[in-house]
């Protein structure tokens, strides 16, 4: 089983995340012999209190993505209306050349309702329930097995 291991940072369970077009859109672009925009690297933060992954608007704008729906989300500051998108999400260690990638090609996500100081992507339970999260608090290390 592939494994990614990261240090716990001051921000929390931080991991680099790549956001790209969803698999269906990428397949359609390939069939039309059009270029697929490269994924955007962003600062991810694992959030076990989030049911759904949320992505900063600037990431989605860079990929020229259009929302597929709107929904109400629940935050500490109230229930804002947010856009829903279909994306691909990858997590890997950029310092480990040729290392494993955890990839989800078709993931519905919401747009982050408010900017965060330490993250561009809150990786929610929709992703974390597809892998094993191991946290070693005393050594301040966590890993994802998938």
What are the phi and psi torsion angles at 52 (to 5°)?
-125, 140
Task: Identify the pLDDT of residue 76.
Answer: 67
Note the CATH architecture for domain 3-145.
Answer: Beta Barrel (2.40)
Q: What is the pLDDT of residue 86?
A: 97
Per domain, the residue ranges of the chain are 3-145
Nearest to 144 by CA among 44, 3, 14, 12: 3
* pLDDT for the residue 60: 97
The H or E element containing residue 61 is helix 57-62
Task: Identify the pLDDT of residue 79.
Answer: 83
Question: Which residues of the chain fall short of a pLDDT of 50?
Answer: none
pLDDT recorded at residue 94: 85
């Amino acid at each position: 089983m592939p494994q990614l291991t990261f240090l716990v940072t001051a921000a929390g369970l931080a991991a680099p995340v790549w956001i790209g077009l969803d698999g269906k859109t990428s397949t359609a672009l390939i069939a039309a012999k059009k270029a697929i925009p490269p994924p955007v690297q962003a600062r991810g933060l694992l959030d076990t209190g989030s049911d759904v992954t949320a992505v900063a608007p600037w990431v989605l704008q860079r990929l020229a993505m259009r929302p597929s729906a709107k929904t109400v989300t629940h935050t500490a500051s109230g229930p804002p209306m947010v856009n829903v998108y279909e994306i691909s999400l990858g997590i890997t260690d950029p310092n480990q050349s040729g290392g494993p990638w955890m990839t989800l090609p078709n993931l519905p996500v919401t747009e982050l309702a408010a900017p965060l100081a330490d993250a561009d992507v809150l990786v929610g339970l929709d992703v974390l329930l597809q892998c094993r999260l191991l946290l070693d608090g005393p050594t301040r290390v966590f890993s994802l097995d998938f």
